[in-house]
A and B are shown apart, each in its own frame.
Chain A
């Protein structure tokens, strides 16, 4: 048993060391964000001497975080709700095989998870249809991007739900639309929240598509941070304060939902 104790200790020691490599950068950034610019250049790597909380206020104002935050919340929530609804609506007839080409549609959506993205034609399409630089165009694009993997996850979930309930409802004279909204959607709720959460994470964190498909006043937090970085390349404490403000919402959500986020993210990969 002594051997077991030692091997356990060694395992924990190694894991704690590796975990430190993940956490240390964040701690260092917090330390930097509290420094005065002068202090940063005198003492770049040392512990902060004179705590300057004002960096956060300055970063919030100068990076126009409030504005970008509003855009982020708007675009993220619309995309997440859109994906949840559109994918659930499609997953129902497909996984219950209620329509003629159900298996074909399932195969198409599943395979298209691996479809290579076409940035250039997509940009051309958005431009020609007048969807470029609009919120609704951006949301439609994001919903479309999230739909295939979501249909895959939702169908997988629905296949595990027995059909007796549907049968009973149909016998009672329930039409497809009522069946979907009254029975299927409530049953799908846990899977729909997984799918919405995955979409929300990817839209919230995306820096490239807001940069390409939206104007500056419409863009989200990561893209705002990108612009902010370009303006204050020398003021690291200010940049790090801005970075941490952008990180904070994700951190809070992650602390509470980490189990669901981790399981949801891998759900797609594992069934494939």
Chain B
């Protein structure tokens, strides 16, 4: 390459171009991320000038003994969100993507509408849904109107139902994102395959299971990875709608970490973050390796 024409100073300026990105990344991304693995061995409230005490594994011991109930509950809630959000959301997103398909009229408009919740911002969404889920709000009115008054609940304050209410809102928020990834995956499947299948007499049901789904596996892998890790680390909706309550029924690991952060237990909070990191990483690795094996070559 002709870069040999450049002087040593020129070559040095190339490093200057990369420097801001690298410095910012080391300070504000790498350090905080690794910092958790350091903070987790200390007792500290994060205020400069106050004592920082090395406590070894005591934070972990605490999380797995005295607070075991809360730690396990938060982890289990993460898995419950995977069941109640990640799975239904992916099925719904796949359904919409297949319906909108490749060349349905109004495709762009449908896509824009379903993606809309993604750009709205959690605070606005939380405000909208706290109104809709009010005890005397429209959702309860609807249940009363269609003759199921017993289904009218205090959605965001009920020990049994608030979890489902938060899940439903989360599905409303994130289905559009998964849908867009499925649509892009669908566009990558060549028309010839479908034409050949039609000539061979395959009906649309067979075409979906034998062609669409297998060739869509890369999109399924990405979507499952994103939605499962997203559900295990859910923060915005449970925090804004129910603050993890009532009685910790919607509390997830990030909420627990945030709670310790606000409460000045910074070492303990970091230990919980580390714990969560390992659990999410293991699940993500296992899941990706299983799904990758299911992908087929086109």
Question: A residues bordering B, Cβ < 8 Å?
Answer: 8, 11-12, 14-15, 18-19, 21-23, 25-26, 28-29, 32, 44-45, 86-87, 89-90, 92-94, 98-99, 105, 109, 112, 115-125, 127-128, 140-141, 143-145, 147-148, 151, 163, 167, 170-171, 173, 175-177, 180, 201, 204-208, 222-223, 225-226, 229, 236, 239-240, 243, 246-247, 250, 254, 258-259, 261-262, 265-266, 269-270, 272
Contact = CB atoms under 8 A, between A and B. Distances in A.
9 contacts: A44-B141, A118-B35, A120-B46, A127-B46, A207-B240, A223-B123, A261-B115, A265-B115, A266-B181
Nearest to B262: A212
B13 A176 contact: yes
A244 to B, nearest CB: 9
A28 B21 CA distance: 44
Given A89-B18, A207-B121, A266-B180, A19 B114 contact: yes
Contacts, number: 256
B17 A90 contact: yes
Nearest to B118: A265
Contacts of B48: 127-128
Interface residues of B, number: 84
Contacts of A11: 99, 104
Contact of B24 (A119, A143, A229, A258): A143
B121 A22 contact: no
A254 B124 CA distance: 15
B121 A177 contact: no
B6 A170 contact: yes
A247 B120 contact: yes
B46 A124 contact: yes
Interface of B: 1-3, 5-6, 10-11, 13-15, 17-18, 20-22, 24-25, 27-36, 38-39, 46-48, 96, 99-100, 104, 106, 108, 110-124, 127-129, 131-132, 134, 136-138, 141, 172, 176-177, 180-181, 184, 222, 226, 235-236, 240, 257-258, 261, 266, 269-270, 273, 276-277, 280
A22 B116 CA distance: 8
Given A112-B29, A121-B270, A225 B124 contact: yes
Contact of A229 (B25, B33, B127, B134): B127
